[in-house]
């Protein structure tokens, strides 16, 4: 994770989003999945939920909750199922720059600093997923 944050020039204070193929993959990380979150998944909705104790700081950064999503992106879900766990989801960009929108663009931008780019399709969303507070339902990021 230190290497990923260094490549992205991203502060560990910001935290990262975890994506999963199903709710079971999130249970090691969150105390509970509220019904309001469960109803939106799988889909492009990220929720800030109460973390289990003793998680690495890089997951939540300086935030008291962690950002999680059950992805509707078929290739990302397959990757989670293959790994047998939730994985970090982050855009393919350096902090402050627009994300790469394809395989070749990611290779061009990151070059030798990364080991591999998984070929596949980019999701259809034109913007990052919305982020909502799991306790209140309030939109934190539209």
- pLDDT tens column, 15-38: 999 999 999 999 999 999 999 999
pLDDT of 11 higher than 80? yes
Q: What is the pLDDT of residue 122?
A: 76
Token pair belonging to 67: 């950002």
100-137: pLDDT as tens digits? 888 888 889 998 999 988 887 777 776 778 899 999 99
Q: What is the pLDDT of residue 126?
A: 66
Q: What is the pLDDT of residue 124?
A: 73
Between CA 109 and CA 70 the distance in angstroms is 28
Q: What is the pLDDT of residue 128?
A: 74
pLDDT of 97 higher than 80? yes
Token pair belonging to 86: 């939730």
Domains, in order of start, for the chain: 2-141 (3.90.870.10)
Mean pLDDT of 44-70: 95
Q: Provide the 3-class DSSP secondary structure of residue 9.
A: coil
C-alpha triplet 14, 20, 25: angle, nearest 5°: 110
Which one has a higher pLDDT value, 122 or 42? 42
Q: Provide the 3-class DSSP secondary structure of residue 48.
A: strand
* Mean pLDDT estimate for the chain: 92
């Amino acid at each position: 994770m230190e290497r990923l944050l260094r490549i992205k020039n991203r502060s560990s204070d910001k935290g990262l989003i975890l994506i999963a193929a199903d709710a079971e993959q999130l249970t090691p990380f969150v105390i509970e999945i509220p019904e309001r979150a469960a109803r939106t998944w799988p889909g492009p909705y990220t929720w800030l939920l109460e973390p289990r104790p003793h998680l690495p700081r890089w997951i939540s950064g300086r935030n008291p909750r962690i950002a999680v999503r059950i992805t509707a992106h078929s290739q990302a879900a397959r990757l989670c199922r293959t790994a047998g766990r939730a994985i970090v989801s982050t855009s393919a960009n350096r902090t402050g720059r627009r994300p790469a929108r394809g395989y070749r663009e990611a290779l061009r931008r990151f070059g030798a600093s990364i080991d591999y780019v998984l070929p596949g399709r980019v999701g259809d969303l034109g913007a990052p997923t919305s982020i909502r507070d799991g306790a209140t339902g309030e939109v934190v990021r539209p």
